[in-house]
Structure formats: C-alpha cells, structure tokens
Amino acid sequence: MKTFLIPALIAMLAWSCKPAQQIAKSTSHKIVSDSSGYEITIIDPAFDNWYLMHFSPAKDYSNEYYRSKNQFGVNNWNDCFMHGRYHHAIDSYINYESSVDYGIEVNRKLYWYFKYTEEKFRIRLLR
C-alpha cells in the first residue's frame, strides 16, 4: 500500500504545480488583431485579473465608441506624460492616430486599460 501511495502523492503534487507555472508566465498581454494587423501589449500583471472581473460581453461597445473614447484617453494620457504628472503610473507616450483603425480587439483593450488606470491610480483619463 505504501508503494502505491507515495507515487500517487508525487503525481498529484506535480499535477497541482503545473497551473501555477502557467500563471507565473502570464505577466503581459499581447493581443493581435487578425483583420488589422495591430497589437497592444499591456505589461501590468494586475490588469489581467481586473479585466476578467470587469469586462463582460454585455458591457461591450462598438469599435467606433472605443475609438472615440480612446482618442480622448490618449490625449489625456500623453498630456500627463508630457507634463510629468502621475509619473508613478504614466511613464510612456502612446502613439495613437485617430485616422487609423486598429481593430476592435486593440481598441477594446486600450479602453479597458484606461478604465483600469482610472480606478487603480485615481487618474481621470476618459472623462
């Protein structure tokens, strides 16, 4: 009985560690839109969980809605970056052109990242 129990415990231990390894590797987002060819990378690991808790298909909007909101959010983000405000949260410039259609996947993720930043750091970007 002992000879069966020890290999079974080792197998269960190895199996239970596998999901933790997969979670540890997920530290950034890379979304590729097949139709547009553009991608967005979000490096903040806390965003993944926040996004899963806050986004649902019932809260989804059109690509045009995301584009208009993102233009406003990008303008506010870049203004904060250029003036050195909120340097603990905003440490890069976003090159976003309103005339380019980045696709709904990219626009959706950028919009929800702005919402995440507003909630986490209390920075008004979309309003």
As for how many domains the chain has, the answer is 1
Please check whether residue 1 lies inside any domain of the structure. Answer: no
pLDDT at position 37, please? 85
pLDDT for 1 beyond 90: no
Residue 21: its pLDDT value, please? 37
> Higher model confidence: residue 9 or residue 108?
108
pLDDT at 10: 53
Residue 31 has pLDDT above 70, yes or no: no
Q: Which residues partner with 40 through β-bridges?
A: 31
Residue in this structure with the two tokens 């584009």, named with its chain if needed: 67
Is residue 71, in this structure, part of any structural domain at all? yes
Instruction: Report if residue 112 sits inside a domain.
Output: yes
Instruction: For residue 92, give its domain range.
Output: 27-121
pLDDT, residue 15, reads: 47
Q: How confident is the model at residue 55 (pLDDT cuts 50, 70, 90)?
A: very high
H-run or E-run covering 39: strand 39-42
- Helix axes of 63-83 and 104-121: crossing angle, nearest 10 degrees: 50
